[in-house]
Amino acid sequence: MIATAVGNYPKIPNPPGEPKLRRGIAKFERGEIGEGDLRKIEDEVTQEVLVEQTTAGLDLLTDGQIRWEDGQTYFARRLVGFSIDGLIRYFDTNTYYRQPVVEGKVEWKEPICFGDYRFAQDLAEKPVKPVITGPYTLARLSQNGFYPSFEDLVMDLASALNREALSLQEADPPWIQFDEPAILKHKEDFPLFEEAMQVLTSGLRVKTSLYTWFGDIESLSPQLFRLPFDLFGLDLVRGQRSLGLIERMPGGKGLGLGVVDARNTKLEGEEELVELIRRVAQVVPLERLHINPSCGLEYLPREIAYQKLLLVAKLARIAEEVIR
Amino acid sequence: MILPTTTVGSFPKPNYLLKARTQYSRGKLSKDDLWELEKRATQEVIELQEEVGLDILVDGEMYRGDMVTFFAENMEGFRISGLVRSYGNRYYRKPIVVGRVQRLKPITVGYFTFAQGLTSKPVKGMLTGPYTMAEWSFNEYYESREELVLDLAEAIRGEAEELERAGAKWIQIDEPAISTRPEEIELAIKALGVVTAHLRAKTVTHICYGEFEKIYPKLLELPVDQVDLELANSNYDLLELFRRHPFTKEIGLGVIDVHSHLIETKEEVKEGLKKALEVLSPQQITVDPDCGLKTRTWEESRAKLQVMVEATREVREELGGRLKG
């Protein structure tokens, strides 16, 4: 069983830790340091976060998305066809992102994650997985001011992000993770989603995972599990109903169990979660299970986020001992 | 008078106060010294509002950091967490419920009394609502959300009633989180009802950032006299909803985009107001910006409010003429 993270990690520690990145961005905005200086700070913080995940005991890391302002603009700013507008709420959270606006035909022009991924992979002592926000979610969370139909936008994004994934594949990552939380809020769009996922994953030889959060997969199962991914990440905190649906999973596929709540500071008891893992392991063998927080950890203060990772790692160890 | 003007609550903090707040948080400034500077800033905010010619004033919330954290810090049952990011490079300390929530002492009454003492115009009592307090805190104590929300409602009711005893004629209970979880609106309505049940003051609730079509017309059941909404930054799209289902309460009509540096023109604001008047009656409307002004500069805030007041005055006169004629 692999202990992993879903994506982002708190960018600054709490006092007496030094909020390097927050200070760096403020200085950059005031023109006191240049872009190169800011990149250097991002590098340092990324390294700090890689070490923290390793120390917590994770087997598979992310780069913490320290350089991402959010999951949308990181990609939209680097694709052709987007401009960036004002703040808008991210789902039902108390956090905001700048909304991308589609102003022209969406196209991929150059690698987006490649450099950041290589940087993290070179530094980390454990394997790192790159993460790409999926075309459906990116389309849903943007404003479409160009395409006559939402479907056209989703499909062009799917092609663009497929090229991104193909370029990442050259760096030989152990996995590529795609994030698609928005499909859980628009289940009626599954036929379009399915078509987009085919395009998105076309030509990929690397192992792929599809992560969702803030809801359950009711009415999407079992067809979701037939999509061309090796593993499906589910939020089992805000989507508890999904648990009853994994029995209908086709064989050979893996699951990412989001059982540790990444949106509340309360630390879960181990026993209940081990029991849950035991139930899942009857359907999906341990070697095809990942365990992780329910979503990215940036909703929590840094020290609690770390506690949550410790718990994830510990659950994986216990599961290996007790269940195997 | 028709079309009274007001603001949603927050004003930008002057630099000396921002510095003082940092010093205070590092233990380098006493609570009394901070309070002196908060009073100075409050006085400046009141003066600005009088100069611009607003009708219903606010104290500008010079004492608040975050709208939820400020109240949590002053209640029993909360601990304040480390920093979490809200957007861009902005972080705040989010409250954690760690015990039974209670209000043991007045929270805003002193600030209200000071501000109301500076002006003969009504100053609004400003509170954060129970649903939003619960939704934007971590919860490590309550088994059910409803219990938490209702205990918070009880605590905020105490504060609202004391504001009324201190002379508040308007009490605003902000519930921006209501629009983020349409499935829980019944709970939000119930909780707000606890707060307003015995108030005789005019009650307002401010809601923003949401998919209003999912909570409308249900939101008309909120037990307050006035619902304050943002219209300017969505190009007055909400009016289409009101056309289909009439807005039956008083409305706080947001006509100024608080997220933009650009100062609206008088004509833009007048046009917005007139568009609203096609669907709403003049007696229903209080005119204000979309949301709090704390992210704008002092100069932008003044300029935006000036335009809003002048535009409203002209529309008021045109309407007055029409009513007489």
Q: At A79, which amino acid appears? A: L
- The interface predicted TM-score of the complex, written ipTM, equals 0.94
- How many contacts does A have with B, using Cβ atoms within 8 A? 66
In CATH, what number is assigned to the domain containing residue A229? Answer: 3.20.20.210
* Stretch B21-50: mean pLDDT: 97
Question: Hey, which residues does A287 pair with through a beta bridge?
Answer: none
Supply A283's token pair. Answer: 């359907």
Alpha helices in B125-237 (DSSP H): 130-135, 145-165, 185-196, 212-215
What's the whole-number mean pLDDT along residues B228-234? Answer: 92
B181 and A96 within 8 Å at the Cβ level: the answer is no
Task: Grade residue B214 by pLDDT with cuts at 50, 70 and 90.
Answer: confident
Q: pLDDT at residue B324 above 80?
A: no
Contact B83 A14 (CB under 8 A): yes
| Residue range A144-164, pLDDT digits in tens | 999 999 999 999 999 999 999
Q: Which residue of B22, B68, B89 is the best one to mutate when testing the A interface, meaning the one whose CB has the most A CBs within 10 A?
A: B89
Question: What integer is the mean pLDDT of B137-148?
Answer: 97
Instruction: Give the integer Cα–Cα distance in Å for A95 and A90.
Output: 6
What is the pLDDT, as a whole number, of residue B323? 61
User: By the CB < 8 Å criterion, does A22 face chain B?
Assistant: yes
Q: What is the pLDDT of residue A213?
A: 98
Q: Please tell me which residue, A88 or A66, carries the higher pLDDT value.
A: A66
Please list every residue in chain A whose beta carbon sits closer than 8 Å to the beta carbon of residue B139. 264, 266
What average pLDDT does the segment B18-39 reach?
96
Please give, rounded to a whole number of angstroms, the shortest distance from the CA of A301 to a CA of chain B. 5
B229 CB within 8 Å of a chain A CB: no
User: Is the per-residue pLDDT at A228 higher than 90?
Assistant: yes
**Which pLDDT band holds residue B325 (cuts at 50, 70, 90)?**
very low
B163 vs B81, higher pLDDT: B163
Q: Facing residues of A82 across strands?
A: A102
Confidence (pTM):
0.92
pLDDT at residue number B319: 93
If pLDDT is split at 50, 70 and 90, which confidence band does B149 have? very high
Structure confidence at residue A1 (pLDDT): 96
How far, in whole angstroms, is CA B115 from its chain's centroid?
16
The percent helix, strand, coil of chain B (3-state, each to 5) is: 45, 20, 35
Tell me which of A70, A72, A92 to substitute to probe the interface with B (most B C-beta atoms closer than 10 Å).
A92
In chain B, % of residues over pLDDT 90 = 90
Contact (Cβ atoms closer than 8 angstroms) between residue B94 and residue A299: no
| Mean per-residue pLDDT of chain A | 96
What's residue B76's pLDDT?
A: 98
Residues of B numbered 55-94 whose beta carbons fall under 8 angstroms of chain A's beta carbons: which are they?
81-89, 91, 94
Q: Could B81 and A265 be called an inter-chain contact, meaning their C-beta atoms sit closer than 8 Å?
A: yes
CA distance A174 to A187: 30
> A53: domain range?
2-323
| A247 or A97, higher pLDDT | A97
A298 to chain B, any CB pair closer than 8 A? The answer is yes
Q: Is A302 on the interface with B (CB under 8 A)?
A: yes
Query: Which residues are bridge partners to A210 per DSSP?
Result: A178, A232
Interface membership of A18 toward B (CB under 8 Å): no
For range A274-301, the mean pLDDT = 96
**A195 exposure class (CB count in 10 Å sphere: 0-12, 13-18, 19+):** middle
Region A169-193 average pLDDT: 98
B260 touches chain A (CB under 8 A): yes
The two beta strands, A96-107 and A80-89, are: antiparallel
Q: What's the domain count of chain A?
A: 1
Residue A14 DSSP label: P
Looking at the complex, does the CB of residue B220 fall below 8 Å from at least one CB of chain A? no
pLDDT at position B56 is 98
Nearest by CB: B89 against A14, A25, A298: A25
Give the nearest chain B residue to A68 (CA atoms): B88
Q: Dump pLDDT digits (tens) for A117-132.
A: 999 999 999 999 999 9
Q: Which residues numbered 86-145 in B keep a CB inside 8 Å of some CB on A?
A: 86-89, 91, 94, 96, 135-136, 138-140
Query: Does A299 reach chain B within 8 Å, measured CB to CB?
Result: yes
The span from the CA of B92 to the CA of B86, in Å, is 7
* Helix boundaries (H) for chain A: 20-29, 35-56, 73-76, 114-123, 135-140, 150-169, 190-201, 270-281, 302-323
